[in-house]
Structure 1
Amino acid sequence: MPHKLPSQPVHIEGETILHQAGEEEHYRFSAVGQLVQLGTTVYLRFNEDNEEAVPVTYKIDGPNSLRISRRGESQLTLQLIAGQRTQNVDVTPYGKLQIAAEATAVETEFDLADLRGTVSADYRIFTDDEEVGNHQIRLQFYR
């Protein structure tokens, strides 16, 4: 039976940097979320508060593998694996959009005994083999 750590409250601070259409945008956020461990997989769940609360889950599958799910107006799940291009779907109010994500770096480090860690990912987004954005995520969580 896989080891399961009960849901633990954690503070989450993060920054996303987007490079799109020749412009750079920075988004910073701070949230109280939940950390859950199931076997070797760690989940971070929190709400991003832009104009409305958007549920976000980071599923950490290993030191170089991350799945990010956002459930707002659109429903996006991105699989990021360092050095690989993955196929993903963004379900928008206007239909499904096929996108590819190419991660140049994915790094995760955590100490579950102290409930702290970091997640970082650098990746590019493509539609129809055309790059539409370059993204960087930096996130830290702590007790």
Structure 2
Amino acid sequence: MENNSFDINVELNIETLQSGELTHTKIAEPGKFTQIGNSVYLKFNESLDNDDTASILVKITDEGEIHLKRVAKSKNLASLLYFTHNKHNSGHLETEYGVLPLGTFTKDSKIEILNNPLSGKINIDYDLIYDNNVIGNYKFRLIFGA
């Protein structure tokens, strides 16, 4: 099994539309790109308030499915979401009060990875669903490079 790991810089822009309110989140951090077999992993941190961080792991399977895991230990929050182009998926949010089932509907997803030099883009447009209701529309734009 091949295991290649490289230092990268990550820029993540997230546009969120919830309850008619549009918000933007931008993260620019160093990270790691790792390939194990046919799967690709991007790992980086998100800076939070009070010098806290959340760890973010993006996995791309060889079938093109995207898994997004975000863990903010100090806030007792962890989420795991799955994205498959034009499909519904089940995920969850773990809080100190219990686990909330969350769903996603991936309206569009695009993955581009170039090897020389190592760089790429991951774009996901999705609806976040709780209890059969769309609670937000998201545009996830991740760009990385060595």
TM bucket by the smaller chain?
over 0.9
* Distance in structure 2 (CA, Å) of the matches to 1:102 and 1:139: 18
Aligned-residue RMSD, C-alpha: 1.2
- Runs of 5+ in structure 1 lacking a partner? none
Letter in 1 for 2:20: G
Cross-structure match for 2:127: 124
Letter in 2 for 1:56: I
Residue 63 of structure 1 contacts residue 109 of structure 1 at CA under 8 Å; is this kept in 2?
no
Partner deviation per Cα, 1:44-83 (whole Å, 9 max, x = no partner): 0000112121000000114742100001131101010011
Does residue 79 of the first structure (1) align with residue 78 of the second (2)?
no
Partner deviation per Cα, 1:5-59 (whole Å, 9 max, x = no partner): 1x21100011000000110000111000001001111100000112121000000
Q: Report how many aligned residue pairs link the two structures.
A: 141
Residue 8 of structure 1 contacts residue 35 of structure 1 at CA under 8 Å; is this kept in 2?
yes
Cross-structure match for 1:47: 45
Give the structure-1-normalised TM-score: 0.94
Cross-structure match for 1:91: 94
Residue 107 of structure 2: which of 96, 104, 109 is its match?
Answer: 104
Does residue 58 of the first structure (1) align with residue 66 of the second (2)?
no
Give the structure-2-normalised TM-score: 0.92
Residue 63 of structure 1 contacts residue 108 of structure 1 at CA under 8 Å; is this kept in 2?
no
State the Cα distance separating 1:4 from its structure 2 match: 1.9
* Distance in structure 2 (CA, Å) of the matches to 1:128 and 1:142: 38
- Runs of 5+ in structure 2 lacking a partner? none
State the Cα distance separating 1:106 from its structure 2 match: 1.2
